[in-house]
Amino acid sequence: MEVETQYTQFDSLNLDCGVTLNPVDCAYQTYGQLNTNKTNAILVTHAFSGDAQAAGIDKDTGQKGWWDNMIGPGRAFDTDKYFVICSNVLGGCKGSTGPASLDPATHRPYGMGFPVITMADMVRLQKKLIESLGIKKLLAVAGGSMGGMQALQWAVQYPDAVAAAIPIATTARHSAQQIAFNEVGRQAVMADPDWNGGEYYIGRPPARGLAVARMVGHITYMSDESMRQKFGRRTRENDDIFEVESYLRYRGSQFVDRFDANSYLYITKAMDLFDLTHNGDMTLTAALESATTRFLVISFTSDWLYPSYQSQEIVNALRRRNHDVAYCELESNYGHDAFLVEVKEQSELVRGFLAKTFKGMNR
């Protein structure tokens, strides 16, 4: 399936911080066909470093979509039945407005002049996109990691506009440890003199700092066990370098070519700020009170970055008010990466859940 990114622009977007972006760009892709009732649309939301290409093969780069194993004809998100949409998040660097975009006021990249954004802001832009496609109510919003945060945010922000939410390997709010890992990444970026206060768009980007940040990320995405299986203590280059070192260096250096350092700062911050309980102002149960969507919550046994107890907190909060929620903790050695690679059981869960939701919505 050959795919192509589409671009749309909206006049303005009001942000939580009080700033209004105008205009604002949104890059997206769609797969499958919207039915005449417009009741088969699914929004798939990407994780931190993802983009609008969730599925298919990019016709220019030949790259596969980040959830291609889950989206397509006959797959979990079956494009023979559903119309699947994925957009690059606000603050990103893959076609939607972000810190690398030109500030219309100055005709220069926003850089650190970009306003602080939140998960609610990202979702607000997605809502505009959905409306522009003529869709009043999504069949589902589904995503893993930061994508799961967006799914949760949709359920509380637009309960009437989404029938089902599938938050996977995620949390209702970052723990101190999750904030800490993000902060280390940010400090690594900002410690690089090439970062230059975010003003590097006419110079060279903070490649070394961003690479270090990405290395930290990769460790947290894998499990102790999956690293042992993949690398163990094997060495290369005349025994001088452990394979795991070589892998991390490669993945770190590679990341620089495809990601903007300021987007790294803004998006990780949005993740850290995300908190359905508004920093404890309300219980999670109260926060999810208004959600009328059905939920399918999935976590993975070896995911220590977004451990299962965080998914269970969400499930418990929903059950306390008799929300319609299914939960499954899937067995996996892949750590946080599991939501991208453990396709089999995840597909079955998603497939059944979507079919039932679709039936209910089209009764």
The residue annotated as part of the active site, out of 87, 303, 308, 332, is: 303
> What pairs with residue 333 in β-bridges?
none
Residue-wise over 241-278: b if at least 16 C-beta within 10 A, else e? ebebebbbeeebeebbeebbbbbbbbbbbbbbbbbbbe
Is residue 272 a contact residue for a copy of itself (CB under 8 A)? yes
Q: Which is nearer to a copy of itself, 34 or 179 (CB)?
A: 179
Identify the residue among 108, 230, 236, 258 touching a copy of itself (CB under 8 A).
230
Q: What is the Cα 141 distance to its own chain's centre?
A: 11
Q: List the x/- string, 182-201, binding to a copy of itself by CB under 8 A.
A: -xx--xx--xxx--------
Scanning 48-56, 79-87, 106-114, 172-180 for contacts with a copy of itself by CB under 8 A, the matching segment is 172-180
Our answer to whether residue 336 is catalytic in this structure is: yes
With CB under 8 A as the contact rule, the residue among 6, 22, 35, 175 that binds a copy of itself is 175
Catalytic residue of the set 49, 101, 145, 223: 145
Angle 255-200-126 (CA atoms, 0-180°, nearest 5)? 60
Query: DSSP assignment of 265-327, as one string?
Result: HHHHHHHHH-BTTTTTTS-HHHHTTT--SEEEEEEETT-SSS-HHHHHHHHHHHHTTT--EEE
Residues in the chain: 363
Note whether 295 and 167 are within 8 A (CB).
yes
Residue 307 binds a copy of itself (CB under 8 A): yes
Secondary structure of residue 123 in the 3-state scheme: helix
- Our finding on whether 10 is near a copy of itself (CB under 8 A) is no
Catalytic residues: 145, 303, 336
| Contact set with a copy of itself (CB under 8 A) | 173-177, 179-181, 183-184, 187-188, 191-193, 208-209, 211-212, 215-216, 218-219, 222, 224, 227-228, 230-233, 235, 242-245, 248-249, 252, 272, 275, 279-280, 304, 307
